Structure 1
Amino acid sequence: MIKKLPVEELKPGMEVVKLSSELWEHLPNLYTEPGEIRSEEQISSILNNGFSHAFVKMAAGVDETTGEKLDRLLAEREFSPPVKPRVPFEQEIEVARMTYENAMLHAKRVINDAKMGRKVDYDASLETVDDIVESAVRNPDTLVCLSKLSDYDEYTYAHSINVATIAVVFGEYLGLDRDDLVKLGAAGMMHDLGKTAVPARIINKRARLTPQEFEEIKRHPEYGCDILEKSGGVPDEVLRAVRDHHEKFNGGGYPEGRDRQGIAPLSRIISLADVYDALTSDRSYKDAILPNKALAIMYGMREQDFDPREVQMFIKCLGIFPSGSLVRLSSGAYGVVYESNPALPLLPKIKIILDEDLHPIPSELVDLAVEQAMGHESLKILECADPETYKVNLKPYLTRKG
């Protein structure tokens, strides 16, 4: 097990692990010389040189907080990307669709209960979240696809489920255990519950909010915590994740202006999922941004809104061309991304569905990574395309009958 430790807690005999340069370039005070710590004098030298933390190899069974666990998993994923067996996309998509639709129905009940001042049934929510976790473990790309096919007329409900599913997919990619994934999904589903306590005239306003109205909006994380606390039975980690989902890495968020060290660990994942879904969803007052452009925007928000390592790993998880993206190929044809490839993000698995004139053709499933390995490098993705612009309905192509 790998753990991030303050330099003051280093002891002779501990082993500092080797990390990729991508990680420590963003953490200039991280000690990165791999090898065994030999003496107290070496530790003093590390301290005197201004280093604050190091990643060390720990014996199994050492207790760790959720924050320490997340730091460890991020470090592990940096130099050892996960390779996990997955249920084929075509086999899982119908199960995932039913899971998503059932989750939407539950989200409506939860939000309507909150609006009416009734207690939120947290235990019933866990059953829904458990199904989301199961689907994410079997094939996360199916849920990512479905999150991009929701109707903006139901954005309030869809957003809560999309944030839950995307957060769980990322958490599963990092290697969080089942208990943390369920808490993550529950927090994602309920992260905006506090908006039910904000006047509808503010929530639905299309014009720029006044400073007073914005201050009221900024209270919705606290309102959400209040609603969940009064409902009872909600774990503290879920409450803190809901409370902190608008806090930022640099301390410029709200409601309390916490910086990275003070933000609940699960909330940092919720925040990434929240921003990604908001950018890539149609709203009554704005059009969706293409997934790859949204990820580029989020990368530009590193060290401000997001921890640099976390946003980088989030992009690796979803892929440069996330599942469900319509892409234009070097052949002139168009395809839809079926499954991302974290190890080779430019080479996902795609289904070719349209010719260069956007006419439907017999679909063909192509794994670009396999094509490259076989020396067939002529077929490449040139760019993401907007299905709305070309009036393309992707739903039929993302089912077993597509």
Structure 2
Amino acid sequence: MLKKIRTQDVKLGMFLHKLDGSWFSHPFWKRKMLLDDPEQLADLHASKVEWVTIDVSRGADVAPAQPVPSRVVQMAEPRERVFGRAGPTIVRRAAPQPVDRPFDPLSKDKLPIRAEMVHAQRLARKSGRTMRKLYEDVRLGKAVKAAKLETMVDEISSSVQRNPHAFMAITRMKNSGEYLYQHALSVCALMIGLAQQMHLSPDDIRKAGLAGLLMDMGMAHVPQEVWDKDAPLTPEEWDVVKSHTTLAHEFLTLGGEMPA
């Protein structure tokens, strides 16, 4: 069932069937998709699209309007009567509600896999975007800044410590367009897990994760048509692909910021 709603009423989990306006009025390359990324939702809200059509059979529906609760006034009860007058009153106050603390992505407190999968999925999505941008920068010849990747490596390390299986399970669910980035995240997590088992220092654990993250960085210098090719590679193309390790080492060394 299709429903036309205002863009500002769109929420995560809705399936976008159609976006009103031209291709230039919104930031997406396709008009039909399940909206499950908070950044995409923010981009849509900030776009010039005023109306969208959602398919409620494939995603979330618009929440029904909630009735406005009437205001309940609690009358103070008299404690006692003294000579026909009401004595001092007691005001009953509601017990304070517990405050939900935001999740700390660097927390290392153990979590069951079901709970950690939620955080791991969010981290994998965010890290995948970072890796995509990193590969694009490398193709343009921009140096890789190790300091900019340390927070991401630390968050992956914390996820592995909270539960060693969740992040790896998420990164195994690769699609063809994201394979290179998700593979880098998988190897990063494996390197961190191995370094933790070897009881290396926190600094060496970070370096191990960084090495796994960047091991295929030379693929950014392999022509796109080669590593996207569906047909078997020629011997010459295989030589180009196999050179990606040397290309990565040379490129990362030139940056001057990478640990040996």
Cα deviation, 1:193-231, whole Å, max 9, x if unaligned, reads 101112222222222222222222121111001221222
CA contact (8 A) 2:196 2:205 kept: yes
Correspondence for 2:176 among 148, 152, 157: 152
- Would the alpha carbon gap of residues 132 and 109 (structure 1) be closer, same or farther in structure 2, given more than 3 Å must change? same
Distance 1:89 1:121 in 2: 32
Correspondence for 2:223 among 199, 203, 214: 199
Matched, 1:98 2:88: no
Give the partner amino acid of 1:190: L
Distance 1:198 1:227 in 2: 13
Distance 1:210 1:91 in 2: 46
Give the partner amino acid of 1:183: K
Unpaired stretches in structure 1, ≥5 consecutive residues: 1-84, 237-402
Match in the other structure for 2:201: 177
Match in the other structure for 1:127: 151
Give the partner amino acid of 1:212: E
Distance 1:138 1:230 in 2: 36
Match in the other structure for 1:228: 252
Distance 1:154 1:90 in 2: 24
Cα deviation, 1:268-290, whole Å, max 9, x if unaligned, reads xxxxxxxxxxxxxxxxxxxxxxx
Cα deviation, 1:217-274, whole Å, max 9, x if unaligned, reads 12111100122122221000xxxxxxxxxxxxxxxxxxxxxxxxxxxxxxxxxxxxxx
Matched, 1:111 2:135: yes
CA contact (8 A) 1:193 1:224 kept: yes
Correspondence for 2:232 among 205, 208, 213: 208
The sequence identity of aligned pairs, in percent, is 26
Post-superposition, which runs of at least 4 consecutive aligned residues in structure 1 deviate over 6 A?
Answer: none
Match in the other structure for 1:362: none
Give the partner amino acid of 2:218: G
Correspondence for 1:86 among 84, 101, 110: 110
Distance 2:222 2:174 in 1: 24
If the length of structure 2 is used for normalisation, what is the TM-score?
A: 0.54
Distance 1:143 1:174 in 2: 20
Q: Which of the pair has more CA radius of gyration? A: 2
Distance 1:89 1:203 in 2: 34
Give the partner amino acid of 2:238: F
Give the partner amino acid of 1:103: S
Q: How many residues align?
A: 152
Matched, 1:141 2:156: no
If the length of structure 1 is used for normalisation, what is the TM-score?
A: 0.36
Cα deviation, 1:175-199, whole Å, max 9, x if unaligned, reads 3332222111111111111011122
Match in the other structure for 2:34: none
Local SS of the residue matching 2:231: coil
Match in the other structure for 2:190: 166
Give the partner amino acid of 1:214: W
Distance 2:173 2:198 in 1: 25
Give the partner amino acid of 1:102: K
